[in-house]
Structure 1
């Protein structure tokens, strides 16, 4: 390992970070720094403490119950945050003045509606603000709080209109509150029904004869026609009537809708509604009444076909609706999967003939992304939409010509693998008709801008790092964002100065940092953590080179005393590419002494997730378990294998159509690294992981049977055709189109390769990775007459375990597996 010196930055938390000088490489692709980074604890620890499995897997309240869901008060002087109630799943709200001390005071239930909300909206001159609390609408005018609705019908999405009114939604009905007279009026009502029409004459001979012969029938038809005409005339001539509802047709489902700031247009997307498949169920054997419950669950990628969407422009003044054609989008009819289809056809002894076909397209409303994909400029004269192809290969940003009622393409992001669901933030500058957005087109997620009059977008940020969460100030002076610019595992706050197109570093913390800009845009609320310290809240002025001040201190004394071994973030050389594999390495103090050590390699879940960064890990139990192993003389390696987050597009898409191949190659390099650098015995290395990490454990033991001497697969995927559509179709296309990718990537096709002991831990009410995955794979092992495996089932657990007893049982079994085989 390389030697390094310490550049210490003291924080008001009980940890320090020791790191070598790391400079971001200029230009792309990146030459990553290979210096080692590690965390050093302060002297509050008790070195005599020995970690126990019972403590590690206990209810995590003992860690201190850290701040959650923090946001600014409307006046920017106070922060509100939630904290878990001890020995309960309930959360309490706390008020912490920025200039106060301590952790603040608990907010009384009677005052919860006065706190404001994270999603405040402002009028044009920022003299009014509005928010939703428990489905009701509140406004603050001249510092005074007013409640505008009080009902059991939930309101949402407040927005100030250019005429001064406050619009909001109630379901798919749009209303406006007038501050001048206090009235609420309906702007538009969307109905997924057929529009009512005047009664039509009876069809067929018998119906026509009935009206001729039976006076009562004729009279009824006449009355119905007159009532319909009278209702239409009343709506036309009486201004007190609400505008006519907008009927979208029976069998349609509304995907999203967005009202213009002028209140004159409505953008919406619809699709055909589809019935649930009754086969999509999961049995629950432990129920209150003793019966077996068949719980509904999501569809499998093999069975699910997304419905294409219609994009509609509704003119509320003309009472008209126009479908917008996708034909102006570049590549809307390209056969982007031609090579994949040809390869699969050839494998079946067929020949594929490529031809143009209109692709299925809709709003970018992915499961990962919670923002609206329709954005109106605050002048009400322009609207932008973000669209995606359901084959996952294209993302478009387009505006709408409101006069011609057609889409105008502004930007196309094409990816031969798949467009990432994590970098799709976009919006308008406030004072010019200019778009800003994130794009991975350079190989890393960066900020771009594009004026509507410009032919090409301008790249605002540049470098071998990833930009996330851009936030624009109301005066268009800055865009604040988070980035791992100095090192892939260190996240800080930066801002882009739009006037000079310069990037300024705002915070200089050594760990993971998230931010929320205050309503007055003068301060940042920070959520900061390190490998050794869970997240706490900090505050800082919103300026370059700011000074950070801690607001909360919730970590328990019991946790602070633990003699934890800080993982070093090391760069494992790769034998398959120029980029190293950044990894956390846990070493006993005396690892270089005596005989070669035993080791464990941990595989993180989710696939696209970063765990070898310098922030607090969501895998806190695993972190403590790794420390227990270190106390017992183990070496532990936790790798950000290819497909992990934080390292750019090429790293992300390396698994396209071959999940479980590049990642296992990286594990091979990891074991080689341990043998060469950490005094590890190659014949005494085990592995484990959950979800995607469980899938990787399968693939490693099945395809590289000599790499690990034992492995534990927790809540593992065994056949990707049984997983969900949004995640899986991105990476493997669909089984109908690309069976080769599924057979290449699913462990169930490689079970005959198992040679070493395998532990499978499976929750039975897992609605993410179904218990069926384990059942089918176990049957395959039985049919292969393989006996060196065990299965532990957890009848009351879902994908994320909840019961301490389940956690304890699971990790006792994992520990036993390693103790007996390593």
Structure 2
């Protein structure tokens, strides 16, 4: 009887504990994320293509240790700290036969034999060397030290300085102002002693010049100049370089930090605001044989004077700028040379974000000729194309043919172009995006990631460079982040599904090959709850476009039939997909809401990534327009198909999602009864330039766009209940944003809002206590307003 009683007590305890593990609470899900288990990250192959390294933390220690597996033995093994340090490589460069690899480690250059693993040190200096590459015949190593470019024979020969950028305080006469040059010459003309000294100085300089070893031509860099790129042509005849000159007169914002070790309030020097003066970009070519430096000429670029269409809304400004007839400011990326250096191509981007030109560079003159122009009256962007959200994919297939990506059809696809004939060919096509791209070692195939099957499913493909049928290499539904081994025989795949975090798999680089799972990361506590696989739905918005969403359905809807709209951040981001969300906390919170009777919807509204150009740019000049109406239309769909009560709908989100929450409560108060706006942009004129100017142009030039896109101008429309939450040391969306809106609400005599502040948090919260406090407030808001 006693044993039976003990057994029943143990069974009762285990049952209660299991039930507790399977029940969600805000406190539970907002703990340090290690409670869930830590997924593998930072996947990298060894140069020998036999070993994969990755960070992983199955033991939940403070920092994620480095693990490795080999192709022969698939069991993860933890590496030593010393070995981890030996893998700390900067940029790497392979020899043509891929038998040797150059790399930088801790500011020195090394060369490694791939098959034997033997390393030799090429430089060991106190100065930092980086960006090593082989020259065309692989007899020399080229690298950068400080501002300058150097070469050194692989067998340990002479170190040669190829460029001569100097920041010496002695300014050349040509750098003096016109006034100072006049005064100097007047002194020489007036005084014999100065004239004599000047002649003596010139004689000494001429003698020193004659006696000196001839070096590369000097190029003076002033205190405002930064070298952004220095490149040597493969034939070693030219050096191309790009300068960025810092704008003057801009005022940086200040972010006060109140919780400090010193006990004093300390200022964090922040960014500038949209519309401030931009840095000036200048690109040059140094002809080594002629010892001559000349600029890359942009004045003849087709459309360099074109004005944007939005100026039609401002007739006076249009007239003034038409009369000025000024060239637009541009930035040049490149040159990109073919293998023998006979052709060079540059990518030119207009700083007003409307144009991207691919142009052939005449290296002897600096003149440009057009190969391809992509114009967008909204803004240039999309995967692999360039602009604010990423660099451009461009390379050479052979001596005469380049490849690149373009949104010419409305979706980012691959193109090839003959630089001699101008013949252009589209390689991929369809209503999907090529999201990553690399050329095979033999230059016969492209490897690409794309969402061909469904906007929310990514796979890894291979396609011939001449076009044709693509071969799908991955097979698991969901997200597949692929790292291809250097010899292209293996795939290291980070895979996840919508309710299962990322794991590492290894697979042969063959269609139909079976992937082998390497890691198993979730904790027992995490697995004890049946995480929902959200229902993937598609609805048609009021403009006739398809919009994708995920719905979390409650098993037992609350009597008031409430619903909550979660709005993802960043604007240009995809969250409706079949892989594990980067918003994992919000994913768990949406499960908690569904457990408590809410129907939750998460929408890839207009401006989200993954859906092509029209979806991306649909918010041009009106943020809080089509992006907001998509969410309103999603609520309408919930009412019609899921039986949601339209009187009990809430909304929440952070950053761009916080902005959307404000716009929802201020401009469509009949739709949203309450909302949680986290780290929100409240006035776009106070955000940064790189992101905002793409979408809204500049405040002084396009005031209409800012007035209709900023919540602060619509605050009088607030009727529902608003919770605002913001980190006080947010250097992205400044705390000033939410303070300005708070003052506006005070002046409007609104009393149905509250502000929660987090003194130690930046834009992305770190402390579990802050996450917990924030989401307890959001949950309380919805419980008090949507269930009555």
State the TM-score, normalizing by the size of structure 1: 0.87
Q: Distance in 2 between matches of 1:449 and 1:218?
A: 62
1:16-415 mapped onto 2 (5 Å cutoff): 49-83=22-56, 90-106=63-79, 108-115=80-87, 117=89, 119-141=91-113, 143=116, 144-164=118-138, 165-191=140-166, 196=172, 203=184, 210-212=191-193, 221=198, 224-235=201-212, 238=213, 242-248=215-221, 251-275=224-248, 277-302=250-275, 304-335=276-307, 337=308, 339-345=309-315, 354-355=322-323, 357-363=325-331, 373-415=334-376
Using the TM superposition, give the Cα deviation of residue 253 of structure 1 relative to its aligned residue in structure 2, in angstroms. Answer: 3.2
CA–CA distance in structure 2, aligned partners of residues 182 and 82 of structure 1: 39
How far is the alpha carbon of 1:48 from its aligned partner? 6.6
Does 2:632 correspond to 1:665?
no
Matched, 1:420 2:381: yes
Q: Note the C-alpha offset of 1:807.
A: 0.4
**How is 1:710-749 mapped onto 2 (pairs within 5 angstroms)?**
710-749=674-713
The secondary structure found in structure 1 opposite 2:671 is: coil
Match of 2:11 in 1: none
Given the alignment, which residue of 648, 653, 672 partners 2:612? Answer: 648
Task: Give structure 1 stretches of 5+ with no counterpart.
Answer: 1-44, 365-371
Which residue does 2:13 correspond to in 1? none
Q: Do the aligned residues in 1 keep the contact of 2:90 with 2:104 (CA within 8 Å)?
A: no
634, 638, 648: which one aligns with 2:598: 634
Shift of 1:87: 7.1
What root-mean-square deviation, in Å, do the aligned CA atoms of Structure 1 and Structure 2 show? Answer: 2.6
User: Hey, what does 2:550 align to over in structure 1?
Assistant: 584
**Is residue 683 of structure 1 aligned with residue 658 of structure 2?**
no
Task: Give 1:146 deviation, angstroms.
Answer: 1.4
Query: Do the aligned partners of 1:489 and 1:613 also contact (CA within 8 Å) in 2?
Result: yes
SS in structure 2 of the partner of residue 801 of structure 1: coil
- Cα 1:523–1:201, aligned 2, differ >3 Å: closer, same or farther? same
Superimposed CA distance per residue, residues 115-137 of structure 1 (whole angstroms, 9 cap, x where no aligned partner): 37484311223232112223222
Which digits, 9 at most, give the CA deviation of each residue in 1:167-216, with x for residues without a partner? Answer: 1112321112211334432222323567657999983666556543xxxx
Contact in 2 for aligned 1:300/1:725 (Cα 8 Å): yes
Instruction: Check conservation: 2:394, 2:405, Cα contact below 8 A.
Output: no
Task: Return the alpha-carbon distance in structure 1 between the equivalents of residues 87 and 39 of structure 2.
Answer: 20
CA distance in 2, matches of 1:244, 1:432: 30
Distance 1:227 1:127 in 2: 52
Conservation of the 8 A alpha-carbon contact between 2:88 and 2:106: no
1:481 and 1:205 map into 2 onto residues whose CA distance is 66
CA contact (8 A) 2:472 2:511 kept: yes
User: Following the alignment from structure 2 to structure 1, what is the Cα–Cα distance between the partners of residues 513 and 364?
Assistant: 47
1:369 aligns to what?
none
TM superposition shift of 1:61: 1.3
1:389 Cα deviation after fit: 0.7
| CA pair 311-392 structure 1, distance change in 2 beyond 3 A | same
Q: Deviations over 1:589-608 (max 9, x none)?
A: 345xx845211100000000
Residue 555 to residue 231, structure 1, CA distance change in 2 (3 Å): farther
Residue 492 (str. 1) matches residue 434 (str. 2): no
1:515-536: CA deviation from partner (whole Å, max 9, x where unpaired): 2221112222222211112222
Change (3 A) 1:222 1:322: closer
Instruction: For 2:302 and 2:481, locate their aligned partners in 1 and report how far apart those are by CA, in whole Å.
Output: 36
Structure scoring higher RCO (CA < 8 A, sep ≥ 6) equals 1
- CA distance in 2: counterparts of 1:151 and 1:561, whole angstroms: 55
CA contact (8 A) 2:731 2:762 kept: yes
Change (3 A) 1:175 1:279: closer
Any idea what the Cα deviations from partners look like across 1:27-51, whole Å, max 9, x if unmatched?
A: xxxxxxxxxxxxxxxxxx9797101
Distance, in Å, in 2 between the alignment partners of 1:393 and 1:458 is 23
Select the structure that is richer in helix: 2
Once residues 432 and 204 of structure 1 are traced to their aligned partners in structure 2, the CA distance between those partners, rounded to angstroms, is 52
Matched-pair contact (CA < 8 Å) for 1:448–1:457: yes
Residues 342-387 of structure 1 show CA distances to partners (whole Å, capped at 9, x for unaligned) of: 31347x9x976745733333336xxxxxxx6442222222222111
| 1:529–1:134 distance in 2 versus 1, CA, 3 Å | farther
* Partner deviation per Cα, 1:744-799 (whole Å, 9 max, x = no partner): 10001100000000000011111100111101111111111111000000111000
- How many Å separate the matches in 2 of 1:135 and 1:256? 18
Deviations 1:680-712 (A, max 9, x none): 111111000000000000100000011011001
Distance in structure 1 (CA, Å) of the matches to 2:695 and 2:92: 37
Structure 1 stretch displaced more, 152-161 or 707-716: 152-161
Verify the 8 A CA contact 2:555 2:595 in the aligned structure 1: no
* Aligned positions of 1:473-488 closer than 5 A: 473-488=440-455
Offset of residue 632 of structure 1: 1.2
TM-score (ref. length: structure 2): 0.90
User: Does residue 812 of the first structure (1) align with residue 770 of the second (2)?
Assistant: no
3-state DSSP of counterpart to 2:562:
strand
Distance, in Å, in 2 between the alignment partners of 1:89 and 1:439 is 43
Of stretches 485-494 and 624-633 in structure 1, the one that deviates more from structure 2 is 624-633
1:61–1:86 Cα contact (<8 Å) kept: no
The secondary structure found in structure 2 opposite 1:153 is: coil
3-state DSSP of counterpart to 2:645: strand
Q: 1:689 to 1:676 in 2, by over 3 A?
A: same
Counterpart secondary structure, 1:680: coil
Q: Which segment drifts farther, 312-321 or 244-253? A: 244-253
Range that drifts further, 746-755 or 198-207: 198-207
CA–CA distance in structure 1, aligned partners of residues 408 and 416 of structure 2: 13
Q: CA deviation at 1:676?
A: 1.5
Gap regions ≥5 residues in structure 2 = 1-17, 386-391
- CA deviation map 1:11-66 (0-9, x unaligned): xxxxxxxxxxxxxxxxxxxxxxxxxxxxxxxxxx9797101211211111112222
Distance (whole Å) between structure 1 residues aligned to residue 185 and residue 403 of structure 2: 60
How far did residue 316 of structure 1 move? 1.9
CA contact (8 A) 1:47 1:563 kept: no
Q: Measured at CA, do residues 51 and 250 of structure 1 come closer, stay the same or move farther in structure 2, by a change above 3 Å? A: closer
Work out the CA distance in 1 between the residues paired with 2:505 and 2:348.
Answer: 37
Rounded to whole Å, the distance in 2 between the matches of 1:708 and 1:111 is 55
CA distance in 1, matches of 2:488, 2:496: 23
